[in-house]
Structure 1
Amino acid sequence: MASNVTMDTIVSLCKRRGFVFPSSEIYGGFGSTYDYGPLGVELLRNVRNLWWRAMVQEREDVVGLEASILGPSAVWEASGHVSNFTDPLVDCKNCRMRWREDHLLEGNYEAEYGATKRDAAGKLLCPNCGGELTDPRKFNMMFKTFVGVVEDTASVAYLRPETAQGMFYNFSNVLGSMRRKLPFGIAQVGKSFRNEITPGNFVFRTREFEQMEMEFFVKPGSDDDWHSYWIEERFQWYLKYGIKKENLRIRPHTKDELSFYSKATSDVEYEFPWGWGELEGIANRTNYDLTQHAKHSGKDLSYFDEETKEHIVPYVIEPAAGATRTALTFLIDAYAEEPDKDETRIVLHLHPAIAPVKVAVLPLSKKEPLVNLSKEVAKKLRRKWVVQYDESQSIGKRYRRQDEIGTPFCITVDFQSLEDNAVTIRDRDTMEQIRVPIAELSSMLEGKLALD
């Protein structure tokens, strides 16, 4: 990584400044669940909106969808999740802790427990105590529930483990209602649920998370080109909004790690404090999903090609990212500790479009004329941006608070403002200050806070 930030530092910042809180903390917490605080919800909303803007709003070939979270077992039997969405689990015979065998093999526990432990014969041992592990057994990660008053096989339902399937079983609905032609995509942002046995690394891997996925339907034979296109398109999106290029890479999956439905998958990976990890996967799912749902439902999910006068089952390219994981990545990558006079300045160099608060308005004094003018300025700016008003403590400490949450610009209202109707704008990154007439303030900020 370009910086030496630790996850403990990021976790502390998130709680202290209102980005992320442990869920149900007053009751002792609830494992691997988190609540997003006042700044966290703004950060997440910005991530979602920028993804939607790039994937739907700015394109002619993608439309949106919001499918249900709860679904019948038939959907997940058709998709293969009931039989294939499993992890190999092992238990320690000594301390009784449970582990995912694939994560042991990949060294995913090394950041917390040190180097992977093995016996003299090379067999994996418990990361916690070094004890002997049981043979692996399969565990389905979907959350199962029942619909209605009778808990029987007919009433079984699942919380979706991914958002993708809603876009597949709604393929014909979208195709007909929106009069789409290939290639075209269906995009969705929403919650998914996986019963992870060993979640970890803060909000990186949790049981409840938010996905940003798009299924791009193409003619068979054009899928390889479209797969390459979307890999590059998604990689550039992260660079556009400030992720440092040296912290990103594209890693193609090897044949033995491909999902059962995938012809090819490449991950956009980020170098997190614990090492390289998946930020987004771009998969060529072939025509597996549409074929499966057509077979199990008995409905025609083909596409009639006007050029060839043939019915075809489209191939699908799927860019799939996590909103919560992406927000965490932006925080980590933007974090910096910089020397400033006799102290260290903590600052989040977030892209203005990502920053949860765009502008802070700070009166130099709590005297009524300054407070009234400052609140008037803040009120006008709130029509366009998220604005914080802060009059507590010295102006220097208020600047530091805003630096730490990534606010791009601070506006100081001083006694001279009462005479010249101008304010001072401070830039977060350069700390340079300029004087601007209040009448020109909004138009000037529009240029500085542009999304691109």
Structure 2
Amino acid sequence: FGIAQIGKSFRNEINPRNFTFRSREFEQMELEFFIKPDEVVRAQHPEVIADKPETWGWSEWHTFWVAQRLTWYESIGLPAAKLQKIVTAQKELAHYARAGVDINFDFPFGSQELEGIAARGNFDLSQHQQFSGKSFEYFDDEAKARYIPHVIEPSAGTDRIALAVLCQAFTEEEVVGENDKKETRVVMKFAPRIAPVKAAVFPLLRNKPELVAKARAIYRNLRREFVIEWDDSGNVGKRYRRQDEIGTPFCITVDFDTLGEKGPELKDTVTIRDRDTMKQERVGISELRAWLKSRIG
């Protein structure tokens, strides 16, 4: 059983620095995950302990949450190669803590902590019980035991995570632009699942009513399920660059092939351009929603 919360925290930070990484006011998110004390598990499941003498109880849960949090960071676009698991030395642990692991990320200004996962024993609830005068014990019907639950606590800085995502996503690439001139492409390579805008829809030309009407129909259909942008200003290349800069993973262009003017085989298909590879493919309009779902995650 766990309770998750997110909210404002404050500290007397003498030297705020590194943009939003270290500040006096920040967002923090925590999970208090309650587990049985080891002695209760030992009495209830001796066969499990016999099979896994080194990994049962609080240690197993602590390891579980470290793995879960690393997996989550990778799922939002932070690569495993830039994440470090730093185990707190026993002599550096708080007097009540059994173990601690920090998850660090390689920022442009160095490896810095995003989150700590601590095995805190029953210290928190014992302190609440002592100073409130109220019992924080729990009666476990299954184990037929009364105990103060122990806690595994992942605690992360939301602002730091957002900064890590932005640092990882920001990319400058040299590409060949108009008239075969080299130019710098600025792109935010967000993981599609967290990109603010999932796709953009363009008519190839804004002065062709038949293209605009078809593109508008696609736009209205997709925005029922996804965050979609409409853009018909300037040439398609400039529209691509604008979407690159805000991290839109896919751009959908309605062209004359969509109308079937060059043959029936491409009618009712659109061009989808991938932000990261800049490659294009034709996809049927009827398949667009499923196509996007499979790639956004």
Q: Which bracket does the TM-score occupy, shorter chain normalised? A: 0.7 to 0.9
Q: 1:238 is matched with which residue: 58, 73, 89?
A: 73
**How big is the shift at 1:410?**
0.3
- Which residue, 266, 269, 273 being the options, matches 2:104? 269
> Which position in structure 2 is the counterpart of 1:378?
219
Residues 391-423 of structure 1, C-alpha deviation per residue, up to 9 Å, x if partnerless?
222211111121222211000122332342321
Number of residue pairs matched by the alignment: 267
Please point out which of 7, 32, 35 is paired with 1:215. Answer: 32
Residue identity matched to 1:281:
G
Structure 1's unaligned 5+ residue stretches are 1-183
Question: Is 1:427 aligned to residue 274 of structure 2?
Answer: yes
Q: In structure 2, list runs of 5 or more residues that go unmatched.
A: 39-56, 177-181, 261-266
Secondary structure of 2:294's match?
helix
The AA in structure 1 aligned to 2:17 is G
Residue deviations 1:189-239 (CA, integer Å, cap 9, x gap): 333333423222112122332222111111222212211221122112222
**What SS does the aligned partner of 2:192 have?**
coil
Alignment pair present for 1:355 and 2:202: no
Task: Give the equivalent residue in structure 2 for 1:201.
Answer: 18
Partner AA of 2:248 in structure 1: T
Alpha-carbon distance change, 327 to 384 in structure 1, aligned in 2, over 3 angstroms:
same
Write the letter of the residue equivalent to 2:31.
M
Pair 1:225-2:56 in alignment: no
Q: Which residue pairs with 1:400 in the alignment?
A: 241
Alpha-carbon displacement from aligned partner over 1:277-335 (angstroms, at most 9, x marks no partner): 00111011211111111111111111112244331111100111222221211121122
Helix, strand or coil: the match of 2:120? strand
Tell me the residue number matched to 1:439. Answer: 286
> For 1:418, what is the secondary structure of its paired residue?
coil
Partner of 1:140: none
- CA deviation string 1:86-134 (max 9, x = no partner): xxxxxxxxxxxxxxxxxxxxxxxxxxxxxxxxxxxxxxxxxxxxxxxxx
Partner Cα distance (1:324, 1:363) in 2: 37
Cα distance in 1, alignment partners of residues 205 and 94 from structure 2: 61
Distance 1:379 1:206 in 2: 41
Offset, 1:438: 1.6
What is the rounded CA distance, in whole Å, between the counterparts of 1:220 and 1:318 in structure 2?
15
Q: Give the superposition deviation at 1:440.
A: 1.9
Q: Does residue 192 of the first structure (1) align with residue 27 of the second (2)?
A: no
For the residue of structure 2 that corresponds to 1:200, the secondary structure is coil
| Equivalent residue number for residue 85 of structure 2 | 250
Q: Structure 2: how far apart are the matches of 1:248 and 1:308?
A: 39
CA distance in 2, matches of 1:261, 1:364: 64
The aligned amino acid for 2:60 is D
Corresponding residue of 2:44: none
Matching residue of 1:323: 158
Taking structure 1 as the reference length, the TM-score comes to: 0.56
How far the C-alpha of 1:381 sits from its partner, in A, is 0.8
Give the aligned partner of residue 296 of structure 2.
Answer: 449
> RMSD of the alignment, in Å?
1.9
Runs of 4+ in 1 over 6 A off after TM superposition: none
Q: Which amino acid aligns with 2:246?
A: I
User: For residues 362 and 216 of structure 1, what CA distance do their matches in structure 2 show?
Assistant: 47
Q: Which amino acid aligns with 1:355?
A: A
Q: 2:164 aligns to what SS in structure 1? A: helix
Paired amino acid for 2:155: A
Alignment match, 1:305: 140
Tell me the secondary structure at the aligned position of residue 194 of structure 2: coil
TM norm structure 2: 0.83
What's the offset of the Cα at 1:430?
A: 1.7
Structure 1 residues 313 and 383 mapped into 2: Cα distance closer, same or farther (>3 Å)?
Answer: same
> Cα gap change, 1:255/1:393 in structure 2, threshold over 3 Å: closer, same or farther?
same
Q: Please report how far the alpha carbon of residue 387 of structure 1 lies from its aligned counterpart in structure 2 after TM superposition.
A: 0.8
Q: CA deviation at 1:260?
A: 5.5
Find the residue that maps to 2:193 and give its secondary structure: coil
- Structure 2 CA distance, aligned partners of 1:259 and 1:386? 45
* SS, match of residue 184 in structure 2: strand
Mapped partners of 2:71, 2:36: distance in 1: 25
In 2, distance between residues paired with 1:238 and 1:203? Answer: 19
Corresponding letter in the other structure for 1:204: F
Cα 1:401–1:257, aligned 2, differ >3 Å: closer, same or farther?
farther
Question: Which secondary structure state, in structure 1, belongs to the residue aligned with residue 31 of structure 2?
Answer: strand
The residue matched to 2:219 in structure 1 has which SS? helix
**Which letter maps to 1:442?**
R
Question: In structure 1, the residue corresponding to 2:14 is in which secondary structure?
Answer: coil
Query: In structure 2, how many angstroms separate the alpha carbons of the residues matched to 1:205 and 1:345?
Result: 30
